[in-house]
Structure 1
Amino acid sequence: MSGPGDAAVTASAGAAGGRTGGPTSPLRIRDWPGAPVGPLPDPVDGPHVWLVRMSGRGTAPGRAARPGGGPGGSCAVGGDVPSPGVPWPAPGPGGGACVVPDVSVLGPEERRRAAALRRPEARLRYVAARFALRGLLGAYLGVPAGRVPLIRLPCPGCGRPHGRPALAGAAGAGLHFSLSRSGSLALLAVAHAPVGVDVERVPGPRLAADAAGALHPEDQAELAATAAPARPAAFARCWTRTEALVKATGEGLSGPSLGTVRLGAGAAPAPLAGWRLVDVEVPPGHAAACAVRDPRPPGA
């Protein structure tokens, strides 16, 4: 993907996204091209999900941004946090171009969270994902990325302002979004209703077994009946469905849904009244899911 010392958002050659054949088919993703290109999909037809491939293995202070040299190419920027005002290398005809994230578009809270991350790699990837999210939302709103009005809604459990991220004002009524990161991957999701997305690396057998105890009893039983070699991937499917749902509701993993709502560990999510839950196609070794509020009966 990217070479040593990279700290950038790597853009693939813009594969088209959209729904597959049926309501239980995995949701195809769009590769994030570094900046919105062409007409944006209507949130009413969503959810729509973009895959952001990030590098960020740390760089030596003082190195300048440099474009990559072809497919899988990359850019690097010196220091622990990308420098503001670095130009975006244009995507090449074969893909593999990159975009250096501009930290100046982030808000004060985003910068504080970035600074709190100890590992430079994690800090760079956080900035890259937030930069991509702001670029996408800014394109929908017709405003610069730095002027996207991000807020936190009240928590449905305690009422404090640490619930689901949202857009302030009238813009937030018809455009909902979610962001998830796992290593060098990030997913951006938009929809016309509350939406949550989650991507995770498939864990090892021991971690999957330990964490499965937090799931619904029927999901635990389904995992126990799954052949041992396939169990970690099945767990990852169920876990990402769970995280997508609690991100969409704003309750988080400390809310009542964890362990009380059955979402399934099989090839397709279990139906859930009031929600459309779909798996998301991601690179091998990962699992991902998206949940969007839907008043229609499951399967309608």
Structure 2
Amino acid sequence: METTLPWVVRELPPPGSLDLWLLRVSDVPAGILDEAVLDATERQRAAALMHAADRTRFTAAHVALRRLLGTYLSLRPEEIHFGRDTCPCCGGPHGRPTVLGAGRELFFSLSHRGDLALVGTAVAPIGVDVDLVSDQTATAELASMLHVDEQAELDALAPELRPRALARLWTRKEAYLKGLGSGLGRDPSLDYVGSGGPQGPYPPSGWTLLDVPVDRGYAAAVAVRGELNVTAPTISRLSVLDVVQYTTELSGLELPSGPDVVRTPHDALQTARTPP
């Protein structure tokens, strides 16, 4: 249905703050995802995944990302066009993802693994990462890519504590590298981000680095250039259906119908924000 209402009304995060959205991308009701809003590259990446569940989770994460970004930019999801900054390591066209045109003032980052996706937005460079806690075999393989001091601190832990510690450490590192715009194009052993212990990360100069509370069996982190005004930013915990309802109702559009679609009151969605 056509409407003259704006797609949304959400202000950009003010300087020194950020918005975090923790999304459950599994168990998505049939017919709720409008894959047509994705661009050709996103659809190709989804089609290349072997398992149907992985394709659904990928599609859900990227549809949700477009809808959330549209709430800041007064754009419909299909009107958002992505580009890439130049890589700070090699100058190639594969650096930090950006929104082209009117969205250049908004920085964002998306990470998804398993049943969860994490979206971060700010008016400064930002990176997020969410990952599963791996077994000890995978821990040993990944640990070889760490800074020498991180490796030593990890080795000092009891073996049963290492998988969780490494997951915390690795998500901190990936969030920072994504914030830089290099990703793993930069050698992850170059930067020390602290041990994987619960005492918290050690942010590189000029950055804020925080752990993000997530479901059991996962770890997550966010990195933002500059200082934050808060030490524990609010996290919006939503399902993909919540995101569809939230953005649809704000825009005045009609929610897709189906036996699995249950409306959630708009004010409930606005208050479904869980502090870490």
TM-score with structure 1 setting the length? 0.69
TM-aligned CA deviation for residue 169 of structure 1: 2.9
The 3-state SS of whatever aligns with 1:214 is coil
The 3-state SS of whatever aligns with 2:70 is helix
- In the other structure, the counterpart of 1:76 is 30
Which has more helix, going by share of residues?
A: 2
**CA–CA separation in structure 1 for the residues paired with 2:205 and 2:101:** 29
- In the other structure, the counterpart of 1:125 is 57
Q: Deviations over 1:198-243 (max 9, x none)?
A: 0000000111112101000111111111122111100001100111
User: 1:126 is aligned with what amino acid?
Assistant: F
The 3-state SS of whatever aligns with 1:137 is helix
**CA–CA separation in structure 2 for the residues paired with 1:134 and 1:116:** 20
- In the other structure, the counterpart of 2:41 is 109
Contact 1:47 1:191 in 2 (8 A): yes
Q: Deviations over 1:47-92 (max 9, x none)?
A: 2211110125xxxxxxxxxxxxxxxxx5224xxxxxxxxxxxxxxx
- In the other structure, the counterpart of 2:73 is 141
- In the other structure, the counterpart of 1:235 is 166
1:51-90 equivalent positions in 2, closer than 5 A: 51-55=22-26, 75-77=29-31
Q: Which runs of 5+ in 1 are unaligned?
A: 1-35, 57-73, 78-99
- In the other structure, the counterpart of 2:253 is none
TM-aligned CA deviation for residue 122 of structure 1: 1.1
Q: Larger relative CO (CA 8 A, sep 6+): 1 or 2?
A: 2
User: 1:118 is aligned with what amino acid?
Assistant: M
- In the other structure, the counterpart of 2:220 is 288
Provide the identity percentage.
45
TM-score with structure 2 setting the length? 0.75
**CA–CA separation in structure 2 for the residues paired with 1:147 and 1:159:** 28
**CA–CA separation in structure 2 for the residues paired with 1:43 and 1:224:** 41
The 3-state SS of whatever aligns with 1:200 is strand
**CA–CA separation in structure 2 for the residues paired with 1:37 and 1:212:** 44
**CA–CA separation in structure 2 for the residues paired with 1:165 and 1:135:** 16
TM-aligned CA deviation for residue 45 of structure 1: 4.3
Pick one of 119, 140, 153 that aligns with 1:209. Answer: 140
**CA–CA separation in structure 1 for the residues paired with 2:11 and 2:108:** 14
Contact 1:46 1:190 in 2 (8 A): no
- Work out whether 1:157 is the aligned partner of 2:128: no
User: 2:206 is aligned with what amino acid?
Assistant: G
The 3-state SS of whatever aligns with 1:52 is strand
For the aligned residue pairs, the C-alpha RMSD in angstroms reads 2.0
- In the other structure, the counterpart of 1:30 is none
- In the other structure, the counterpart of 1:262 is 192
Aligned residues: 221
**CA–CA separation in structure 2 for the residues paired with 1:200 and 1:151:** 25
Q: Which runs of 5+ in 2 are unaligned?
A: 1-6, 232-276
TM-aligned CA deviation for residue 282 of structure 1: 0.4
**CA–CA separation in structure 1 for the residues paired with 2:11 and 2:115:** 24
- Work out whether 1:190 is the aligned partner of 2:161: no
- In the other structure, the counterpart of 1:276 is 208
The 3-state SS of whatever aligns with 1:44 is coil
Contact 2:96 2:178 in 1 (8 A): yes
